[in-house]
Amino acid sequence: MIKNPLIFAATSDVAGKMRGKSFPVSDLEKRTQKGVGWTPTNVMITCFDAIADSPFGALGDLLLIPDESAGVALDFKDGGPVERFMLGDIVDLDGQPWEFCTRSLLKAALDRLKAAGGISLISAFEHEFQFKSGDDQPGQAYGHEGFAQRRAFAETLMAALDQSGLASDTFMKEYGANQYEVTNDPAAGHQSADQAVILREVTRMTAKRFNEDVTFTPIRDPDGVGNGVHIHISFLDESGAPATYDKDGVAGMSKITGSFIAGVLKYLDSIIALTAPSDVSYLRLTPHRWSAAYNNLGFRDREASVRICPVTATDPSSIARQYNFEYRAADAAASPYLALAAIIHAGAQGIEDAMPAPNVTEEDLSVLSPEELKSRGYVRLPETLELALQRFESNETVCGWFPADFAAVYTAHKRGEIAHLNDKDTSARCAAYEEVY
């Protein structure tokens, strides 16, 4: 059968969906210069494909410029088509970054971090997902049998990630029903977010090749476990040396790390609307779900919103290379670019304000009274998306990190998403998100 191979030029939008337009491979050189046409109101397309109230209407034109450094050409060698796509940046007709392009927003946040602390970012996204079908026998949490049932899928997935430019790391049977976790190696700057988008799409593509479907939804079953996205972060100084660790710092944090994390914790209840942005995200972000419910830093504590991660080294130089912390109040309903941008801006604010390193908790904060929490500087994170949106839009500092109209556009988008769910109970809401993520 004749064919003209196509490349899909893509953006990860504010709904965390990969959308775009395809063009012939033969036009690649032209398209990396001139892009493909895009429309401002596309930013208002919710995850359910409804268009929220748009300030743009039918007006305006943009360009989506594919980036060859974020391209994938994936051949499963099973007789099916080669999957080709490229992530890119949305610009106006003068070539300037569009103020609602999530990838450009992340690049701006990285520039701020460099200016604030003279440091560059190394990060990695750790993903949990579930198969929509298949038997899940009791007793298989973290088990070999549960892994073996998906071995063929896992081995194909790891090969597909490697072929897509990601260094595959681990694959495991997770705790939940039909739940698995996949990780890849860290990357610098915005590339880690590129890789997170690629990983999600390649995982879905691999499942399709096995005639299955997977979902990265924040929570499938209101009574079950959730699917988180854990973002691991460390820093390099201007010479390329590790800058996250100090053996004399609180829990090993360097001064700049302590200030960064302090900023994240201070603004966490306002940025969570960007990092956990679905209606059902807040079913997962509750105490005793191994997720995050308070703005605390934990030492190897998987209930903390930010966690100091363990290292296996013993000598100081090796510890410094391994040392990292993990942001846990995120899920795959968020664009990786937007989630990481929000975290970086909060951390950069902490650096600019020279905030002291936060205290480290090693306790169950859910047993403390509101008065005790307040006296120690902790807050319960928002328990609904609407409350999270209110805290975001009312925080002038946080809104000021983004272009002038961003907060209004983002909250209108998300309220359009919420409106789609108005007649649904909790189980139906979970089912709706399972289908789209």
* Domain locations along the chain: 6-97, 106-436
When pLDDT is averaged across residues 48-73 and rounded to a whole number, the result is: 96
Q: Tell which residue, 252, 220, 414, has the closest CA to residue 334.
A: 414
Rounded CA separation 413/260 (Å): 29
**pLDDT over 90 at 122, yes or no:** yes
Retrieve residue 393's tokens.
């839009």
CA dihedral 400, 401, 402, 403 (to 10 degrees): 50
Q: Tell me: the pLDDT tens digits for 325-358?
A: 999 999 999 999 999 999 999 999 999 999 999 9
Bridging pattern class, strands 297-299 and 306-308: parallel
Task: Give percent of the chain with pLDDT exceeding 70.
Answer: 100
pLDDT at res. 417: 97
Tokens 């039909």 sit on residue: 178
pLDDT band at 406 (very low <50, low <70, confident <90, very high): very high
Banded model confidence at residue 362, pLDDT cuts 50, 70, 90:
confident
What is the token pair recorded at 376?
Answer: 């120690």
Q: Which percentage of the chain shows pLDDT scores above 90? A: 88
E strands, 13-163, where? 18-24, 36-38, 62-74, 83-91, 120-131
Q: What is the CATH number of domain 6-97?
A: 3.10.20.70
Pairing mode, strands 83-91 and 6-12: parallel
Q: State whether residue 233 is helix, strand or coil.
A: strand
CA dihedral 156, 159, 160, 165 (to 10 degrees): 170
Burial class (CB in 10 A: 0-12, 13-18, 19+), 159: middle
Q: Is 372 exposed, middle or buried (0-12, 13-18, 19+ CB in 10 A)?
A: exposed
Domains 6-97 and 106-436 share a fold: no
- For the segment 85-112, what is each residue's pLDDT rounded down to a tens digit? 999 999 999 999 999 999 999 999 999 9
Q: How confident is the model at residue 378 (pLDDT cuts 50, 70, 90)?
A: very high
**Mean pLDDT, residues 205-215 taken together:** 97
Across 276-314, b (16+ Cβ under 10 Å) vs e yields bbbbbbbbbbeeebebbbbbbbbeebebbbbbbeeeeee
Contact (CB, 8 A) for 7 and 25: yes
How do beta strands 62-74 and 306-308 pair? unpaired
CA distance 417 to 291: 23
pLDDT at 302: 85
Backbone angles phi, psi at 129, to 5 degrees: -150, 170
- CATH 2.40.50.140 for the 106-436 domain, yes or no: no
CA-based angle 381:372:350, to the nearest 5? 50
Q: Which amino acid is at 42?
A: N
Q: Phi and psi for 341 in degrees, rounded to 5? A: -60, -45
Average pLDDT over residues 58-74: 97
Q: Are 395 and 267 in contact (CB under 8 A)?
A: yes
Residues 6 or more apart from 278 whose CB is under 8 A from it?
47, 217, 218, 331, 333, 385, 417, 433, 437
Per the CB < 8 A criterion, the answer to whether 265 and 272 are in contact is: no
Residue 277 has pLDDT above 90, yes or no: yes
Other C-beta atoms lying within 10 Å of the C-beta of residue 212: 16
- pLDDT tens digits, one per residue of 246-258: 999 999 999 999 9
Give the pLDDT band (50/70/90) at residue 367.
confident
pLDDT (average), residues 271-284: 97
pLDDT of residue 263: 98
